Amino acid sequence: MNEVPSCRSVLIYGTAVLLPDGWIEPGYIYLKHGVVEQLGAGDAPQGLSQEADTVIHAPNRAVVPGLTNAHTHFAQTFMRGLASGRPLLRWLKERIWPLQAAFTADDMNLAARLGILENIRCGATHITDHHKVTYTPEHTHVVCKAADDMGVYMTLARSWSDIGAGAEEPRQILDHLASLYSTWKGERIAIANGPLAAWRCSARTLLESHELALNNGSFSHIHIAESLDEMEMSGEKYQMSPFAWLDSLGILDARMQLVHAVWADEHDVDRIAGSGAIVIHCPVSNEVLGSGIAPLSTFLARDVRILLGTDGPASNDTQDIFETIKASLLLSRVSTHNANSLSPTEALHMALDGRRIEKGGAADLIIVNLDHPRATPVHDYDSALTLCCHGSDVETVIVDGKILMYDNKVLVEDEESLLSECRERVKFLRERVGLE
Ligand SMILES: [Zn+2]
């Protein structure tokens, strides 16, 4: 493993920095004891480079807050490239559920570390893992431990269903959630309620688990209206849309995160806007599975708060949040036939989730390399980041003053041996499931 540079203080200078009121270039930023102690336009004040433990000269780079990946499934890092043209329900039944069912806690640990590693490499420092593999408390614990060890912010939305294949007893779900809330109370690792999908959950357990989340200062995070098949099932079961059903239960509120919401109609958008619920937009996953195009511009016109998610690597098939930012922008424009329906600045800010680089604020930022043909020349930093860059352009990642990746080297995991171990482990997993 690479030696972690001393992280008591870091000076980054000669770079473009995104501040709350716009870009400065060149600018500098000085991090000390986990916070932004100084920043400004122009050259860094004399003496700072002598005082700093680590000095990074970063011309032709952009410094922005760490990005948010608001929805993924770490178990699926072992299941990339398996969609093979299957729509959502066939993909789940023929590929994802059998593989997940064969996961050991050791598999889960490796898959989570691989997923976190990829997110760090792509600049996502705040991640929500919708954790579906909940067979034992150990399966859940290893994911939280991996995120804690590797230094990212993670919310583990503990998934569950109490209807259909793999249904759990409601008591078991609620007891496990209560135990998780009391175990992971830290700043960086948090727990949320993660009902799998509206059609796989009973009203009673949804109500009780949402109330438990609220009592623990948390929220619920649910797949909803992802495909037309799901909408038909919802119509047959409830005689209403899944959004209307959540609303009828009294749990469509500001502590509800709605993942996908592709097939929300005008009435649903009204409901969501009135409730304060958050929509997690996963455009690349929706494209891979042919699920549809979410009405992003309609949501934004109604001031619905939008966050971006890659979704799991089995339906993406990467964790590149930059690709998701670009897909949001392009799909919004093509679906509205309007080249101005979403700007690069708006798209970038969906991935920033309100985080800002400011004096006294958290030393949580990434340095993105623009010194390559895809991003040369830079006329506008927001456009360069959203339309020209890939996750692999992220060079350095700092969270709370700790350097997780430095000049393209991940410092919080032995990357080479992790990749090798994952490749070996997946061979055994495929054998156990009988996957040819
Ligand atoms: Zn998902």
Ligand 1 centroid to 104 CA: how many Å? Answer: 20
Phi and psi at residue 165, to the nearest 5°: -55, 135
Query: Of 67, 18, 27, 58, whose CA–CA distance to 45 is shortest?
Result: 27
Ligand 1 centroid to 141 CA: how many Å? Answer: 20
Ligand 1 centroid to 315 CA: how many Å? Answer: 8
Ligand 1 centroid to 131 CA: how many Å? Answer: 9
Ligand 1 centroid to 33 CA: how many Å? Answer: 36
CA distances from 392 to 3, 326, 360, 408, 409 (A): 21, 14, 29, 9, 12
**pLDDT on residue 117:** 98
Ligand 1 centroid to 71 CA: how many Å? Answer: 6
Cis peptide before 303 (omega within 30 of 0): no
Ligand 1 centroid to 130 CA: how many Å? Answer: 7
Ligand 1 centroid to 10 CA: how many Å? Answer: 37
Ligand 1 centroid to 311 CA: how many Å? Answer: 5
Instruction: Find the radius of gyration of the CA atoms of the chain.
Output: 21
**pLDDT on residue 2:** 42
Instruction: Provide the pLDDT confidence category of residue 325 given band limits of 50, 70 and 90.
Output: very high
DSSP H or E segment with residue 180: helix 170-183
Ligand 1 centroid to 312 CA: how many Å? Answer: 6
96: helix, strand or coil = helix
- Quick check: 426 pLDDT over 80? yes
45: helix, strand or coil = coil
Ligand 1 centroid to 21 CA: how many Å? Answer: 34
Q: How far apart are CA 59 and CA 79, in angstroms?
A: 38
The CATH architecture that domain 9-66+355-415 belongs to is: Roll (2.30)
- Two tokens at 235? 């119509």
- Quick check: 364 pLDDT over 80? yes
Which positions ≥6 away from 156 have C-beta within 8 Å? 128, 129, 131, 140, 143, 144, 147, 180, 184, 189, 190, 191, 192, 194
Ligand 1 centroid to 86 CA: how many Å? Answer: 15
Segment 105-118 mean pLDDT: 97
CATH code reported for the domain at 67-352? 3.20.20.140
- Quick check: 5 pLDDT over 70? no
Ligand 1 centroid to 196 CA: how many Å? Answer: 9
Percent of the chain with pLDDT over 90: 85
Query: Of 66, 56, 67, 68, whose CA–CA distance to 27 is shortest?
Result: 56
Instruction: Provide the pLDDT confidence category of residue 401 given band limits of 50, 70 and 90.
Output: very high
Sorted by where each begins, the domain ranges of the chain are 9-66+355-415, 67-352
Q: Please, where are the H alpha helices in 290-433?
A: 296-301, 321-336, 344-352, 381-383, 415-433
Ligand 1 centroid to 219 CA: how many Å? Answer: 16
Ligand 1 centroid to 132 CA: how many Å? Answer: 9
Query: Of 317, 432, 391, 323, whose CA–CA distance to 78 is shortest?
Result: 317
Task: Give the tens place of pLDDT for each residue, 42-76.
Answer: 999 999 999 999 999 999 999 999 999 999 999 99
Ligand 1 centroid to 28 CA: how many Å? Answer: 38
Ligand 1 centroid to 236 CA: how many Å? Answer: 23
Handedness of CA 397, 400, 404, 406 (dihedral sign): positive
Which positions ≥6 away from 100 have C-beta within 8 Å? 75, 132, 133
Ligand 1 centroid to 371 CA: how many Å? Answer: 34
